[in-house]
Amino acid sequence: MRLRTLIPQEALAARVSELGRALCAELGGEPVVMVGVLTGGFVFLADLIRAMPDQPMSVEFVAARSYSGTSSTGGVQITHELGAPIGDRHVVLVEDIVDTGLTLTRLRAALLARQPRSLRVVTLLDKPTRRRVPFTPDLVGFEIEDRFVVGYGLDLDGAYRNLPYVGELVSDEV
Ligand code: IMP
Ligand code: MG
């Protein structure tokens, strides 16, 4: 297997800056709680918050794990809860990729139950053709086709998160 660059570092940086500016404009200077989804979302979150230098904010994390059981809709378990209350706060949930939509559907419901003032979901990548449940993020960095991608936080069995670009694993065979 070798890696083919799908989204180069410069394109990521440019798009993350745009997303940061868009979020700041929408928030209109009001404080926000930026909630990163562990583990994949941490690289995107780290760059995104630094694209919002004048925005008052705090940072929290949640983690979720999907488990395959008998349920055909798939199950998602929250494995790390928020460390601070978000009631009446503006909240932005920051994820690496939306695939089936199951993880963010579960996380969004869990956060909404805490009655934030507003809740936005921003994802770096979106694979809309893979949805098993309808889910529309509020902001998307890049829409991609049905491919398995790694880098910039995204992993394959824990590896490749540290790549500064988003790549696709392709077979060497020709
Ligand atoms: P969901 O299917 O929308 O619930 O996505 C759940 C999680 O699957 C994402 O947060 C990623 O951690 C992981 N995932 C989905 N597609 C990819 C991919 O192409 N590369 C790496 N991880 C992925
Ligand atoms: Mg993830």
Give the model's pLDDT for residue 73: 57
Mean local confidence (pLDDT), 44-65: 97
Position in ligand 1 atom list of the atom nearest CA 135: 3
Mean local confidence (pLDDT), 17-36: 98
Query: What order do you get walking across the sheet with 166-170 strand by strand?
Result: 2-7, 166-170, 149-150
pTM of whole model > 0.85?
Answer: yes
Give the model's pLDDT for residue 83: 87
Q: How far apart are the CA of 25 and the centre of ligand 1, in A? A: 28
Query: What order do you get walking across the sheet with 75-80 strand by strand?
Result: 75-80, 57-67, 32-38, 90-98, 118-126, 139-143
The catalytic position among 47, 96, 99, 126 is 99
Q: How far apart are the CA of 108 and the centre of ligand 1, in A? A: 16
Give the model's pLDDT for residue 75: 86
Give the model's pLDDT for residue 72: 47
pLDDT digits (tens, 9 = 90+) for 61-118: 999 988 765 444 568 999 898 989 999 999 999 999 999 999 999 999 999 999 999 9
121 burial (CB, 10 Å; 0-12 / 13-18 / 19+) is: buried
Q: What does pLDDT average to over the chain?
A: 94
CA angle 166, 110, 56 (to 5 degrees): 65
Ligand 1 binding pocket mutation candidate from 106, 154, 166 (most atoms within 8 A of CB): 154
* Residues whose CB falls within 8 Å of the CB of residue 150, separated by 6 or more in sequence, listed in order: 3, 156, 159, 160, 161, 163, 166, 167, 168, 169
Ligand 1 binding pocket mutation candidate from 99, 133, 169 (most atoms within 8 A of CB): 99
DSSP secondary structure letters along 2-71: EEEEEE-HHHHHHHHHHHHHHHHHHHTT--EEEEEEETTTHHHHHHHHHT-TTS-EEEEEEEEEEE--S-
CA distance 34 to 112: 14
**pLDDT for 172 beyond 80:** yes
For residue 47, indicate whether it is catalytic: no
